């Protein structure tokens, strides 16, 4: 059944701000967001910050930054659970009056002893219901000076079941669930309870979250039932594993969303990659965010864990880089050139450099590294000079330099000048191309050298070639002598 047919879809992303935004959480957020977008619904951001020891304002900011970079805009919120304490207390009072919540005066020591005895009897430790009111049951006398915790009166029998939109039918026996604490003796509400009140108040229709929460769901359903709330649909998304099948962690590479922009990944590529991580639409591999929002549904999420594949992400990122307009790419590349310590003020237009390098660089960071010789006159290794600057090459370079001084400075004419030189001296193409490449870039693998020359500009090309002839003499090379800029 698609609730989406009948009423407004309302989804939420509810991260706990305890450090960074995990790339797996980014995918959960993407799915919840895309589902709302698909059905023209509402996407809500809720910060679950009740773990005061671990939650920090910095970690909240990291979540907001990550969501912003991913472009997962929320329609409502961010709501902060710490700002909703009065509301949780109010609901607890209502439930107390309704008899679906009761005070429990057990001290921590008593609870420890209870669990100890259960373990000794070979039983699973659980609350034994000693303060649970039942008709005809006499409760222990209320001890003086003890503030009670509040426990939820979980149904004793029957099953809690739901049709999970990702995993299919899931059911739990109520007999396995004990009366969990919804507010501690210091009156702070617990996590599982706050989630229920929030999902209810925020009229969430689809809870899309990680499958580490499957065990919480039966408790939450019971609380929602006790509140008389309409139940949302649940879709529990499997976790993401690293290439080795282990839970994705730092040792697999970048796990924090914000590491991706820092490492030169494009937002659209990361979204595309995350979308395909556990979800598919036929054989489609490359699609826009807009396309994804039109296609996304919960039925095509695979219930099995998805494997994170860094190589595939790099491939996808490269596809996006190749398809990005050079002028746009230039803007993206600029900060990376700065980080690489390159000053672009007196060098070629970044747009031209990006256009030449985009076929070779899977990330912006790598593109910046490749761009080095465009902005800094390269040092050339002695060994490369010995290998490529042969006796045949030297006069060819000299003659070419003379020609280039007057060549019309466009790629086609530069190329024609190089070819003419090769023909005139009876050389093979690489005999001139390789020394040119080495002298101009310090490398043997680069984009087409005529294109590089065009971008470098006549003056710079001639200056780099002229380094061969200090004070007009020809230079003797040896392998240990590097060619300084
Ligand atoms: N705050 C929970 C987490 O970060 C998510 C809870 C939920 O989605 O219901 O794992």
Residue 30 CA, distance from chain mean position: 10
What does the pLDDT average to over 210-218?
A: 97
Q: In which band, very low, low, confident or very high, does the pLDDT at 481 lie, cut at 50, 70 and 90? A: low
The CA 321 to ligand 1 mean position distance, Å, reads 34
* pLDDT of 479 higher than 80: no
Strands (E), 200-241: 206-210, 233-237, 240-241
Choose among 135, 136, 118: nearest CA to 127: 118
Residue 189 β-bridge partners: 183
Ligand 1 binding site (Cβ under 6 Å of any ligand atom) = 14-16, 48, 195, 209, 213
Which pLDDT value is given to residue 484? 53
User: What are the two backbone dihedrals, phi and then psi, of residue 46, each rounded to the nearest 5 degrees?
Assistant: -130, 125
Residues 162, 234 contacting (CB under 8 angstroms): yes
Choose among 233, 231, 235, 210: nearest CA to 300: 235
Which pLDDT value is given to residue 247? 85
Which is higher by pLDDT, 386 or 452?
452
Which is higher by pLDDT, 62 or 477?
62
Tokens standing for residue 126? 């659980």
Q: Identify the helix (H) or strand (E) that includes residue 466.
A: helix 458-466
Tokens standing for residue 345? 């003020």
* pLDDT of 62 higher than 70: yes
pTM: 0.91
Tokens standing for residue 454? 């065009």
The CA 193 to ligand 1 mean position distance, Å, reads 12
Choose among 259, 272, 316, 211: nearest CA to 71: 272
Q: Which residue's C-alpha comes closest to atom 6 of ligand 1?
A: 14
Task: For residue 307, give the DSSP letter.
Answer: E
Share of the chain above pLDDT 70, in %: 95
Going by their DSSP bridges, the two strands 101-104 and 149-152 should be labelled as antiparallel
Q: In which band, very low, low, confident or very high, does the pLDDT at 105 lie, cut at 50, 70 and 90? A: very high
Residue with tokens 């006499």: 138
Which pLDDT value is given to residue 475? 42
The CA 273 to ligand 1 mean position distance, Å, reads 22
148-159 pLDDT, tens digit per residue, is 999 999 999 999
> What distance separates the 2 farthest-apart alpha carbons in the chain?
111
Which pLDDT value is given to residue 332? 98
Ligand 1 nearest atom to the CA of residue 199, by list position = 9
Q: Which residue's C-alpha comes closest to atom 2 of ligand 1?
A: 15
Going by their DSSP bridges, the two strands 168-173 and 233-237 should be labelled as unpaired
Which is higher by pLDDT, 261 or 467?
261
Which pLDDT value is given to residue 47? 97
Dihedral, 338, 342, 347, 350 alpha carbons, nearest 10: -40
Q: In which band, very low, low, confident or very high, does the pLDDT at 52 lie, cut at 50, 70 and 90? A: confident
Residue 465 CA, distance from chain mean position: 45
Residue with tokens 């007009």: 472
Helices within 324-457 (DSSP H only)? 326-339, 350-357, 364-370, 372-375, 382-388, 393-404, 411-425, 429-441, 449-456
Range 15-35 burial, b when 16+ CB lie within 10 A, else e: bbbeebbbbbbbbbbbbbbbb
Q: In which band, very low, low, confident or very high, does the pLDDT at 478 lie, cut at 50, 70 and 90? A: very low
Which pLDDT value is given to residue 483? 55
Ligand 1 nearest atom to the CA of residue 25, by list position = 4
Ligand 1 nearest atom to the CA of residue 209, by list position = 8
User: What are the two backbone dihedrals, phi and then psi, of residue 233, each rounded to the nearest 5 degrees?
Assistant: -85, 150
The CA 295 to ligand 1 mean position distance, Å, reads 25
Q: Which residue's C-alpha comes closest to atom 3 of ligand 1?
A: 15
């Amino acid at each position: 059944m698609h609730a989406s047919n009948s009423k407004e879809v309302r989804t939420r992303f509810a991260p706990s701000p305890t450090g960074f935004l995990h790339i797996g959480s980014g995918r959960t957020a993407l799915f919840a967001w895309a589902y709302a977008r698909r059905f023209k619904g509402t996407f809500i951001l809720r910060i679950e910050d009740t773990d005061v020891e671990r939650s920090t304002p910095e970690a909240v900011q990291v979540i907001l930054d990550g969501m912003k970079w991913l472009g997962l805009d929320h329609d409502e919120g961010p709501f902060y659970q710490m700002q909703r304490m009065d509301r949780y207390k109010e609901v607890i009072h209502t439930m107390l009056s309704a008899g679906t919540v009761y005070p429990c005066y057990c001290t921590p020591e008593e609870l420890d002893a209870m669990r100890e005895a259960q373990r000794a009897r070979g039983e699973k430790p659980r609350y034994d219901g000693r303060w649970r009111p039942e008709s005809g049951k006499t409760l222990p006398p209320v001890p003086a000076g003890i503030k009670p915790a509040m426990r939820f009166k979980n149904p004793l029998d029957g099953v809690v079941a739901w049709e999970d939109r990702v995993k299919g039918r899931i059911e739990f026996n109520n007999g396995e669930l004990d009366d969990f604490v919804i507010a501690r003796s210091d009156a702070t509400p617990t996590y599982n309870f706050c989630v229920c009140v929030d999902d209810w108040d925020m009229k969430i229709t689809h809870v899309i979250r990680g499958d580490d929460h499957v065990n919480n769901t039966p408790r939450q359903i019971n609380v929602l039932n006790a509140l008389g709330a309409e139940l949302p649909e649940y879709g529990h998304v499997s976790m993401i594993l690293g290439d080795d099948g282990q839970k994705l962690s730092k040792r697999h590479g970048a796990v924090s969303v914000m590491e991706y922009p820092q490492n030169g990944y494009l937002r659209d590529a990361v979204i595309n990659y995350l979308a395909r991580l556990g979800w598919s639409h036929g054989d489609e591999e490359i699609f826009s965010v807009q396309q994804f929002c039109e296609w996304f549904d919960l039925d095509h999420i695979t219930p099995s864990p998805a494997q994170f594949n860094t190589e595939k992400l790099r491939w996808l990122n490269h596809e996006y880089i190749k398809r990005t307009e050079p002028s746009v790419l230039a803007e993206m590349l600029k900060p990376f050139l700065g980080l690489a310590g390159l000053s672009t003020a007196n060098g070629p237009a970044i747009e031209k450099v990006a256009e030449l390098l985009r076929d070779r660089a899977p990330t912006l960071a790598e593109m910046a590294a490749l761009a080095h010789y465009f902005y800094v006159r390269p040092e050339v290794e002695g060994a490369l000079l010995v290998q490529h600057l042969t006796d045949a090459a030297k006069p060819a370079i000299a003659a070419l330099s003379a020609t280039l001084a007057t060549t019309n400075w466009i790629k086609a004419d530069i190329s024609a000048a190089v070819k003419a030189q090769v023909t005139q001296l009876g050389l093979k193409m690489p005999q001139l191309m390789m020394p040119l490449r080495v002298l101009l870039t310090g490398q043997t693998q680069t984009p087409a050298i005529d294109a590089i020359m065009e971008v470098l500009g006549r003056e710079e090309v001639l200056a780099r070639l002229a380094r061969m002839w200090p004070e007009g003499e020809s230079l003797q090379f040896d392998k240990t002598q590097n060619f300084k800029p």
